[in-house]
Every structure is written in C-alpha cells, then in structure tokens.
Amino acid sequence: MGKKKQKLVLPPELPPEVPEEEVEVSDEDVQFVKENLEYAGFVSNLDTHSITKHVTRVADANEEALESLYEKRLRKKLENKEKEQNALEVDPVDALPVKTLDGQLYYRRVTKEPKAEEESKEGESISKDPGLVKLTKAEKRAKHKKLRKEAKKQAKEEVQQTPQAEVLDEVKKDLTAEEASESKKYKLAELGTALLADPESNIKHIKEMLEISKDGDAAIVILGLKSLLAVFKDIIPGYRIRLPTEKEQEMKVSKAVKKMRFYESTLLSAYKAYVQKLVALQQQPVYKRVAVRCLCTLLAAVPHFNFRESLLAAVVKNISSDDDVVRKLCCETVMSLFSNEGKHGGEATVEAVKMIAELVKAHNCQLHPDSVEVLLSLSFDEDLGKPENPDADSRTKNKKSKKRKGLDEPNHIPDNERKKIRKEMISKTREEVSADFKAASYAQDPQERRRVQSETLSAVFQTFFRILKHAMQPGLGANTAPGASGSHPLLAPCLNGIGKFSHLIDLDFMADLMRCLRKLAGSGIQSVDLSENSSCQLTVSERLRCCIVAFKVMKNNLDALNIDLQEFLVQFYNLILEYHPGRDQGEVLAEAFKIMLCDDRQHDMQRAAAFIKRLATFSLCFGSAESMAALVSVKHLLQKNVKCRNLLENDAGGGSVAGAIAKYQPYATDPNRSGALASVLWELNLLMKHYHPAVCSIASSISTMNTSNNQVYHSHVSPLQAYMELSQENKSFTAPGDIKRASNKRKRGNDTLPVKIGSDLNLMDQVDENEVRKKLAEHFLLLRDIQENEKLRSELDRTTLALNLYEHYKKQKKRKTR
C-alpha cells in the first residue's frame, strides 16, 4: 500500500533524418574543428584511397573485368579451404591455440606435402648425400621387377574385391526390397483387418490399400487385389448406392447422414477404381487369371451392386477365351447368375444373355461351344408361352352377368348372391394382404418376372436362329474357333438348346425352323445344288442332331403341329451308313436311335423292316457299343412290329410276307423302297459269335424272339443307355483269345444233315475265328472306303465344274464391259 507507482522514463527523441545532400557545413563548424584538432586527429590517419577504391573501381571498370575478379577471389577462397582441409593440426602441446575475440579457438595447422614431392625430395636428398651408394643396373632391374609384381598383386586383390563388393551391394538391395515387401504385406493385413472390424470409421484405409496394390512387384499386386476382394465382399451393402444430387447436398442434414454419405461415396469411388484396375490388368498375361477370378467372384457375390455392367462385360468377353481355366471360370460364373436370380431379380440374366448374343454376332458365330452351352442352364416357367390370365375372360363375363342381374332386379338380392359377394370381398382382402406381404419381403412381382423371362427367351432364340442362318450359308466357317470341332462350332449347342426350349417357340416360326432343319440334315448326302448355293457340308453328327431336334420339336408341339417327318427318316436312313466311329460321336447316333425309332412311335411295316435290316448290317461293321445300341433298337422295332419278325425265318424270300417289292435293294436311299421284307437277318448268326458277351447275348435273344416267349430281355433299356454302359465297360474290357460259339442251340433239321456237311462244320471249327473276323472287318472297311472315295471324287468333280463355270462367267463379263 505504501509503495508509490514509478513513472516510465522515455528516451529522448532522435533528431530527424536529413539526407547528405542537404547537409551544409558552416564556418563555425570548420573553426570548431580547427580549434580542437587533438580530438579529430584520427581523421587525418584514415586511408581514403582504400575506402574509395571499391567505389571508383566499380564505377570505372568493365563488367568482364569484374567477373574475372570475382572468379579469382572464389578460387582463392576454395584453395584456402582445401589447404586447411589438407593441413594437419598441430598438437596443442607443441603449439598453443589462438583465441579470437569471438571466443573461438583456432589450432595451428601444417600443410601436407604430396607423395611425389616427398619422393622427389627423398631422391634429391639421396643424390645430394655423398655417403650413400648408387644402385647398379642389375639392382635397378630387380627393383623394378619387385615393383611390378607388387602392382600386379594389388590389381588382383582389387579385382577380387570388386565382385565381392558388387555381390554385397546386390544382397543389401535384395534385403531392403524384401523388408519393403514384408512391410507392405503387414500394412495390407493391418488395413484390411481394421476395415473388416469397423468399416464406417476406417473407410479411408481402402484408398491406402489401392495405392499399395499399384506397386511394381507382382506378388504385392496380387496380394493387394485379393485383400481388396475380401474387403469388398464383406463391406458392400445389400442395396445399390445412389449418390446425393447437388440440391440434396445443399440441404442441412444430421451428422449421422453426413457420415453415411461420406462412407458411401468413398466406398463407391474405391470400388470403381478397383473394378477399372481389374479390367485393365486382365489384358496382361501375368495378372490375367487373378484379375478374372476377382471379377467373377465379385459378379457372383454382389450382382445387385453398382458397376454390374462393367463386370458382366469383362466376364462375358472371356467365356470364349483360349485359356481353359479362364473360360471355365467365366462360364461357371454366368451359370451361377442364371441359377441365383433372387440376388438380382433377373436383370443380370437379361443383360448377360443380350451380351452373349452381341458376342456371337460380333465374332460371326466363330466362338468356343462353351459360350452357347451356357444358355442351356437357363430355366423358364412352363406357362411362359400361355396367356397371362386365362381366367380373366371368365371373370369379366361373370361380373357382367352379375351387373345385368343387379340392373334387372335392383331391390331383390337372394341369399346365394350375398354369400358370393362376401366371398369375393374376402378374396380381395386376402389378395391385398398377400401383395403387401410380398412387397415387404422383396418378392419378385409375377408380371415383372414374366417380362424378364420373355426378354431373356427372345434374346436366346435370336442367338440360336442366327447360328442356324450362319450354318446354312455356303463358304462360311473357314476360321474355326479354338477348341471347336468342325467349321460350325456353335451348331451342336444351338441344336441342343432348340431341342430343350422347343415347347416355348412361337408357332409362327415353326414352319421356317423345320424347313431350315430339313435343309441342314440333307446337306452333303445327295448331289449338291449349285444353283441355290445350299451346300454347307455339315458333319454326320451335326446332321444327326438336326434330325433329333426336328423330332423333339414335333413331340413337344404335337397338338399344334401337323408336319410329316418322312424326309428326316430318309436322311437318317442314309446317315447310318455314313457314320465313322473315330470321326463321329457315338452318343449322338444312339440318341437318334432312341428318339427316332424307339420312343413310342409306330412305323410302317416296310420302313420298320428297312431300319431293322440296316441296323443289323451296321452292327457287323463297328464297335461293340454302337452294335449294342443298334441291336437294342432292332429288338424294340421287332417287339412293336410283329409282322417284321418274318425276317428271322430262313425261308428264301423272307418267309410268307415279302411286301410290295419282291427284291431286296440294299443301296436304296428310301427305306420304303428298299424291299427289306424280302431279305433275312443272316447278320444275327455272325453277331452270335461276337467277341463281346453282351452283343452275343442280345443277338441270340433276337434270333429266338419268334419262337420263344422271352420278350423282356433288354426291353426296358434304351439305345443311349446301352451305348453309355458298354462304352464305359470297354475301357476295362479285354477280349478273350479264344472265342467260343455264342449259341449251342441248333435249329430243327440239323441232325439229319449229310455226313459231308458235318465234316465241313468240323473243319470250320478248326479255323481261327480271330483271323476270319479280322479279314471280314478289313473287307467291310475296304468297301466303305471305296464308297467314300467315290463320293468325295464326285464332290470334287462338281466343285471343279462350278469353279470352271465361274471362271467362264467372269471372262464373259469382262468381254461385255470392254
């Protein structure tokens, strides 16, 4: 309380600054200086020349001289520094350091002398020293040799040390690279674990994982792609993200909404970058399989999410890849989309089928068969081809009748009508409740499902009809797709698809479809029509498939179609002889036997006999599986056509029934004109000696069919089943060396044969049956090759004739233009 406040004392103000030009020296000032010279004596000692030296030189000198001057000063400074660095510090004991006014200590230094100068000084000292002895020439030579040897040793040591140093440097680099890669791996693991634990809070880490996956090391890139795949599969929501618009962003929202928007936008941008990276990496062979696997996994796991179109386009593009692993993976993914439509509501199915149709169109039907076989895994509702509401008309009629009754009798409503009205109200409320329940449970609307399936089916048949149209055009299909067989690789899966979905084809297209199938099935059998350019030269298996599909379409649409299949049977009758076991597919032939001859079809007697005779002849020429399928078909035909069993008789002319044609014509192209009823099934006697026991047993059962009551054997087995079972058994089956006779039974009258014939039979038993069978096989194959050569020669003559005609036409056209 007693202390007084101290006042602040301010320093005096400085006089105002006056420029030197305005300063004036008065007489009084001059006089004052003269009187006090003792105080101004130091001014007279100043070196005015050195003070004004820099200024006068800068004012009068040239720029080049100044630059050279500055360069000299810099050189001097650098030389001084080098001297200081090369100098040796003197021990403080020998010379004390110097302390400057700043308080720094400077130790004295002595400059080093170079080695050459030292050596020269030593040499001078030696030469000057008269007491030393001079070396002779021999001693000088020896000394030079020693110096050379030492120099070589030093060079070798340096050479040995250099590769070691390089190796050490490489090892250090490898160690550092391994450490860096290990750190990146640990970083990916940490970031992925954090994202899986709390994705909303750690969503920023996903960008770091994307940056790490851009590394130059292939192992790090692959690990990053797999880690991101696991993260995206886990954190992608079950809905499609829609980013907010500009107006929505301007609106004020809560913190939770802001956080959710940031999370969704970050996730969507990172997912887009990841998908783009995968699409780009699949072009590189190193990352192709990994990138395609990630794309397929994402498409199968989250087909409802954004950027589905990009994933689908990349996967569909690889369903015809040359790499078997990539192709199978993509095909399995597309088939999983077709089977799991609940994840995407069928929209992905429609998009995938349309993309496949565009792919087939872009490659001109030259793709791998797997790209169209994928479509066979589709499933459609059975009532897709029927009207949507079949009871709608009846309901409207009942409503109209009720309204009319109500108008006629407005005041009187019977009890029955009241009950009906009440029931209708209850049914309406139930329908409304079920509709609300379906909407809450995300069930697909029936009308929406019908629309999706209709679009899918139209795209599928568009693809199938394009393939058929391409197969009918001549001269196409020269460039076959990888892994495909024949010039039309997509025709076989296309025909299988038409056969599977034939009940869904519109009846307006049936006539055109059957005409196309008839044309394809008959290509290459008879003379080629050059005027219509109808030659497409399909294989036997493909032409058999055309016949099979025609019968399937007829069977599925039996009520609506009235088409004669006689032409397809004629084509099939001729195709049996053109079959080649190593070239054509046996299961297709067995399926044709089943569908065209055995499946609940009643054939004409002449036609059935012709097929029985041809199948028996066919059984002699080919393998056991094909023979088994043919004999099963023969047994089916004989069971359905009792009159054809006269072929089993040994009488000349085929027994009591010979038909309208009295003579058998084996080379006839029409089964109705072959006269097969005038022949005998003598082939069964040879087939009873077949090397395979199954063929022997069925041949013996067929031969005794007319006399025995055993008609159940092999009656329940289809030709396709018999072929598949026997083809699998043949892999482990070994034919016996000595084949016994398949049947010990003899017909009546054999006991009364003359002795000479019995001796001939004994001689036949002594003949090696293997050699006989081998000679018969060679004989039949030779005959078959001759027939094929004749056909090929005739086709070659026709093509050369067509080319000559075309050349003649070109010459005439040139003459006309001239």
More confidently predicted of 807 and 443? 807
Do 488 and 342 sit in the same domain of this protein?
no
Give pLDDT, residue 111. Answer: 59
Q: Is residue 133 part of a domain?
A: no
Q: Is the pLDDT of residue 251 over 90?
A: no
Asked if residue 196 and residue 259 are part of one domain, the reply reads yes
The mean pLDDT of 544-565, rounded to a whole number, is 79
- 174 domain residue, yes or no: no
Max mean pLDDT among 243-247, 278-282, 600-604, 778-782 falls in 278-282
SS (H, E, C) 440-464: HCCCCCHHHHHHHHHHHHHHHHHHH
CA distances from 106 to 79, 89, 90, 491 (A): 19, 10, 11, 99
State residue 506's pLDDT score: 81
Helix (H) or strand (E) holding 165: helix 137-197
pLDDT reading at 244 higher than 80: yes
- The SS3 of residue 659 is coil
**7-11, 91-95, 157-161, 801-805: lowest mean pLDDT where?**
157-161
Alpha-helical runs (H) found in 198-254: 205-212, 218-235, 246-250
pLDDT over 90 at 425, yes or no: no
- CA angle 217/280/177 to nearest 5° reads 5
**662 and 516 share a domain?**
yes
Assess whether 575 and 714 both reside in one domain: yes
Q: How confident is the model at residue 762 (pLDDT cuts 50, 70, 90)?
A: very low
Tokens of 616: 């028996």
**Interatomic CA distance for residues 295 and 279, integer angstroms:** 8
pLDDT above 90 (res 280): yes
DSSP lists the bridge partners of residue 99 as 105
Query: Domain ends where: 732, 754, 784?
Result: 732
Chain segment 175-226, per-residue pLDDT in tens: 677 788 888 889 889 999 999 999 888 898 999 999 988 888 888 999 999 9
Cα 346 to chain center, whole Å? Answer: 22
Co-location of 688 and 540 in the same domain: yes
Tell whether 271 is covered by a domain.
yes
Residues 728 and 781 in one domain: no
Q: Which two tokens stand for residue 116?
A: 């050459």
DSSP single-letter state for residue 598: I
Domains contained in the chain, number: 3
As a whole number of angstroms, the distance between CA 702 and CA 752 comes to 25
What is the pLDDT confidence band of residue 79, given thresholds at 50, 70 and 90?
confident
Name the 3-class secondary structure at 99: strand
What does each C-alpha distance from 684 to 552, 590, 630, 635, 780 come to in angstroms?
Answer: 32, 20, 12, 12, 16
Q: Is the pLDDT of residue 615 over 90?
A: yes
User: In this predicted model, what pLDDT tens digit does every residue of 426-477 receive, in sequence order?
Assistant: 888 887 777 666 554 445 677 888 888 899 999 999 999 999 999 888 654 4
352 within 8 A of 312, measured Cβ to Cβ: yes
Of 597 and 728, which is predicted with more confidence? 597
Q: What is the rounded CA–CA span in Å between residue 258 and residue 252?
A: 9
Under the banding of pLDDT at 50, 70 and 90, the label for residue 627 is: very high
Residue 369 pLDDT level (bands cut at 50, 70, 90): very high
pLDDT at 659: 53
Burial code (b: 16+ CB inside 10 Å, e: under 16) for 483-498 equals ebebbbbbbbbbbbbb
- The answer to whether residues 258 and 311 belong to one domain is yes
Q: What is the CATH number of the domain that holds 318?
A: 1.25.10
Is residue 604 predicted with pLDDT exceeding 80? yes
My answer on whether 817 and 692 are in the same domain is no
% pLDDT > 70, the chain: 70
> Rounded to whole angstroms, how far apart are CA atoms 500 and 382?
12
Q: Give yes or no: residues 369 and 467 share one domain.
A: no
Task: Report residue 665: phi and psi, to 5°.
Answer: -120, 95
Q: Report the interhelical angle of 510-521 vs 566-578 (nearest 10°).
A: 30
* Between residues 558 and 276, the one the model is more confident about: 276
How is 613-651 classified by DSSP, letter by letter?
A: HHHHHHHHHS-HHHHHHHHHHHHHHHHH-GGGGGGGS-S
Q: Please give the pLDDT value at position 477.
A: 46
* pTM of the model as a whole: 0.63
* Average pLDDT estimate for 346-362: 93
Residue 630, pLDDT above cutoff 70:
yes
With a cut of 80, say whether residue 289 has pLDDT above it.
yes
End residue of a domain, out of 366, 385, 404: 385
3-state helix, strand, coil in the chain (%, to 5): 65, 0, 35
Task: Show which of 368, 385, 402 is a domain's final residue.
Answer: 385
Strands (DSSP E) found in 297-445 = none
The arithmetic mean of pLDDT across residues 61-68, rounded, is: 70
H helices of 236-254, in order, are 246-250
More confident residue, 676 or 85: 676
In this structure, the answer to whether residues 771 and 719 fall within a common structural domain is: no
Look over the chain and give the mean of its residue pLDDT values, rounded to a whole number.
Answer: 77
Do 666 and 607 have their domain in common?
yes
CB 302 within 8 A of CB 286: no
The span from the CA of 700 to the CA of 689, in Å, is: 10
Residue 629 has pLDDT above 90, yes or no: yes
Residue 528: strand, helix, or coil:
coil
Q: Report pLDDT for 403.
A: 42
CA dihedral (279, 281, 285, 288) positive or negative: negative
**Together in a domain, 599 and 712:** yes
User: Which pair of tokens denotes residue 65?
Assistant: 């001289």
Instruction: Evaluate whether 575 touches 544 at the Cβ level (below 8 Å).
Output: yes
Instruction: Give which of 705, 563, 578, 562 is closest to 631, Cα–Cα.
Output: 705
- Per the domain annotation, does 31 fall within a domain? no
Do the domain assignments include residue 538?
A: yes
Q: What is the CA radius of gyration of the chain?
A: 52
Angstrom distance (rounded) from CA 746 to CA 744: 6
CA distance 590 to 592: 5
499 domain residue, yes or no: yes
Question: Whole domain around residue 602: which residue ranges?
Answer: 460-732
CA distance 569 to 609: 13
626 within a domain of the structure (yes/no): yes
Mean pLDDT, residues 511-520: 88
How far is residue 267 from each of residues 196, 236, 257, 313, measured CA to CA in Å? 13, 8, 15, 22
| 98 DSSP β-pair partners | 106
Single out the residue of 281, 309, 278, 308 nearest to residue 294, CA to CA: 278
Q: Which pLDDT does position 560 carry in this prediction?
A: 54
Question: What confidence score (pLDDT) does residue 494 get?
Answer: 93
pLDDT, residue 718, reads 86
Mean pLDDT of 150-159: 70
Sequence letter at residue 285? P
Q: Which is more confidently placed, 147 or 240?
A: 240
Three-state secondary-structure class, residue 110? strand
Distance CA 175, CA 186 (A): 16
How many whole angstroms separate alpha carbon 767 and alpha carbon 770?
A: 9
Q: Across 299-414, where does the E strand assignment appear?
A: none
**Does 52 reside within a domain?**
no
Higher pLDDT, 771 or 607: 607
